[in-house]
Amino acid sequence: MEIADYIVATDAELVTLSAKGDHQAFEYLFARYKESILRLFEHRLGSRDSADDLLQETFIKVYIHLSDYSPRYTFGQWVYTIARNTLIDHVRRRVDDVSIDEGFRSPASSTPTPEESVIIGQTRAHFEASLEALSDDYRRIVEMRFLDEYSYEEIAEKLGCPINTVKTRIRRAKAAVCKMILEQE
């Protein structure tokens, strides 16, 4: 059979040839479905390596069970069913691989450790000291933006100045606070 004949052959024709031992016909079947099945696996698993492994496993099953294929279904439906079942088996194996201890592990605590509490306290103290050292204009604008969580537009409206002035003052105030914190360390 010529290469052009394989290219234009239907799935049913390629299945018949493959079942009779024509390896090139099976390669064309593989080429027709590999990308879509690979995308399916990658989408479900998020891993290219696992998707490649499952693709290979799927087509090994297809090859082994080619004689079981029934033309009642399209070849694509049959391959996707095998792929789906292979994925389900893989997910089940992955769940079974989790140890009992991992399955019952308590979630990580959201409260800070004692060391983290100390660091947070020191950082807050540095920030508050730096904030107190700022000029009244800068301190007020930093408090409005970061403590009261006003938007730039709200600050500009409350202070009666253009929004670009607000942005510039905030940038300068942040730079001044950072500089003071670094000097304290």
Note the pLDDT tens digit of each residue in 147-170. Answer: 888 888 999 999 999 999 999 988
What CATH number should be reported for the domain holding residue 179?
1.10.10.10
Q: Is residue 108 part of a domain?
A: no
What CATH number should be reported for the domain holding residue 50?
1.10.1740.10
Residue with the bigger pLDDT between 19 and 113: it is: 19
Residue with the bigger pLDDT between 4 and 127: it is: 4
Shared-domain flag, residues 80 and 43: yes
Shared-domain flag, residues 45 and 8: yes
Q: Is the pLDDT of residue 136 over 90?
A: no
Shared-domain flag, residues 76 and 31: yes
Shared-domain flag, residues 57 and 135: no
Q: How far is it, in rounded angstroms, from Cα 58 to Cα 80?
A: 9
Label residue 96 by pLDDT band (50, 70, 90): low
The residue among 103, 125, 145 that closes a domain is 103
Shared-domain flag, residues 19 and 53: yes
Q: How far is it, in rounded angstroms, from Cα 80 to Cα 12?
A: 16
Q: Is residue 72 part of a domain?
A: yes
Pick from 4-13, 23-32, 53-62, 75-84: least confident: 4-13
Region 27-37: mean pLDDT is 91
Region 28-54: mean pLDDT is 89
| pTM listed for this prediction | 0.51
Q: How far is it, in rounded angstroms, from Cα 80 to Cα 102?
A: 33
Instruction: Map tokens 């009666």 to a residue.
Output: 160
The residue among 81, 103, 125 that closes a domain is 103
Angle at 80 between CA 17 and CA 95, to 5 degrees: 130
Q: Is the pLDDT of residue 105 over 70?
A: no
Q: Name the domain count of the chain.
A: 2
Region 115-140: mean pLDDT is 79
Shared-domain flag, residues 178 and 120: yes
Shared-domain flag, residues 97 and 37: yes
Q: How far is it, in rounded angstroms, from Cα 87 to Cα 54?
A: 7
Q: Is residue 78 part of a domain?
A: yes
Q: Is residue 135 part of a domain?
A: yes
Report whether 154 contacts 162 (CB < 8 A). no
Shared-domain flag, residues 119 and 180: yes
Which tokens go with 16? 């018949």
Residue with the bigger pLDDT between 166 and 183: it is: 166
- pLDDT at residue 27 in the model: 92
Q: How far is it, in rounded angstroms, from Cα 83 to Cα 73?
A: 15
Q: Is residue 120 part of a domain?
A: yes
| 99 CB-contact burial (10 Å; exposed 0-12 / middle 13-18 / buried 19+) | exposed
Alpha helices by DSSP H, listed for the chain, are 3-8, 11-19, 23-45, 48-64, 75-96, 100-103, 114-133, 136-142, 152-159, 163-184
Find the distance separating the first CA and the last CA of the chain, reported in whole Å: 79
- pLDDT at residue 61 in the model: 93
Shared-domain flag, residues 69 and 92: yes
User: What percent of the chain has pLDDT above 90?
Assistant: 26
Instruction: Map tokens 């090139």 to a residue.
Output: 24
Q: Is the pLDDT of residue 57 over 90?
A: yes
- pLDDT at residue 139 in the model: 86
Q: Is residue 109 part of a domain?
A: no
Q: What is the dihedral of CA 29, 32, 36, 38, to 10 degrees?
A: 60
Shared-domain flag, residues 82 and 120: no
Instruction: Domain of residue 24: give its range.
Output: 3-103
Shared-domain flag, residues 73 and 119: no
Q: Is the pLDDT of residue 181 over 90?
A: no
